[in-house]
Each structure stands twice: as structure tokens, then as C-alpha cells.
Amino acid sequence: MAVKVKICGITNSQQALMAQDAGADALGLVLYEGSSRFVNLERAINIREVIRPDVLCVVLLVNAVAEFVNLVIESIKPDLIQFHGDETPEFCQQFDFPYIRATRMRDDLDISSEVLRYSDSKWFLFDAFHAGAYGGTGEKFDWNRLPSLRDYALILAGGLTPENVVTAIETVSPDMVDVSGGVETEPGVKDELKVRLFIERVKSC
């Protein structure tokens, strides 16, 4: 099965249209004010309107309160919520809504235990760990830490670029790759040539 591509940190409708035209399978909207790719609820709703039915709309949240999560679900109508903070399994499960559990690869992380705790997650996203940031750092981790045998859908994130994504796929065999900074000219500004090259190289694997 072909590896899917998620372009995260989409900040306007033009970027969304460009990424879809380039062949993206999923688009990520960051509703976390601590991110340089933050979009507010109104802008996220506007971007959502141009995302095609065959492209997944993912809203990334970090330690949001339950009321805001419900508001996001009702107003944006995403396909998936990406919980990218310190949310507990109980918190993620209470909404009865499809979600991606994002896990930052701490040195002491037990991947099997983490997957078991969030067993109802549709996808598991693995990103580099940084003590002061919840993703979006452009840093990569040791891909060999990820198990080669698994029974869950895996998204690889963290420091991916058009230059290293083929090696990443050959090493991890992910179901999806997630890129943000690796296809930008500056935070929040996607570079069309980099986006197209990234997707082209993924799809050629």
C-alpha cells in the first residue's frame, strides 16, 4: 500500500489548495497558540471549506479543555483530532471521535505501553521529543527505535524533508509521513516546489 502524506501547519486556503493539487492525502490545521503555525477557529473553518472530501482534515490540539475540543468538532467538522499534548487516554476517549495520538519520543518511552494505553486511537504519530515544545521543531529522532512489526497505523513525523523522506520510509515503513517545517520557506509559509518534491518522492517509494 502506498505511503500517505500529511502536510501539517496549513495556515491559509491557498496553501490547502496547493497541497491538495500536489497530491496530499491529509492536511493539518494547528489550533495551538504556542505554535508558529497557529490558526484561530475562524480561519480554520475557512480553510476547512476548501478541503476536498477525499483529503483528510486533521485538527491539531495541545492540552485543550474539553469545551474547546467539542467546539472544534462541531464548528470545523474535521475528520480527525490530533492530540499532541499530555492528554490522558480518558480525555481523548470522552469525545467518541476519531483521533490521532501523537507521541514525542522521550528516551524512556515504552512504545508498546503507550500504544496499549491509547488502544482506540486511529493512528499513532511519533515525533521528536523537545522539552520546550510540542512538535514543529524540525528535529528528527532515531527512526530505528520504532518497531518493525506492529498492528497499528503509524505516522512518522519530526524533521522530515524531501531529502531524507525516502530513507525514512525505507527504515520505518510508515503508513503515513507528516511534514511541516521541511517544506517551508519560513514557519507557516509552505514552499510549493518543496511540497511537490516531498510528495513526489514519497509516492515513488
Residue from 57, 92, 127, 178 carrying the catalytic annotation? 127
Q: Is 8 a catalytic residue?
A: yes
Backbone angles phi, psi at 34, to 5 degrees: -80, -5
User: Cβ distance 84 to 56 under 8 Å?
Assistant: no
CA gap 58, 64 in Å, rounded: 15
Residue 95 CB partners (closer than 8 Å, separation 6+): 66, 69, 70, 73, 81
The grid coordinates listed for 24 are 496530499
The grid coordinates listed for 205 are 517509494
In b/e form, how buried is each residue of 181-190, taking b as 16+ CB within 10 angstroms?
A: bbbbeeebeb
Residue from 8, 57, 92, 178 carrying the catalytic annotation? 8
- Name the residues annotated as catalytic: 8, 127
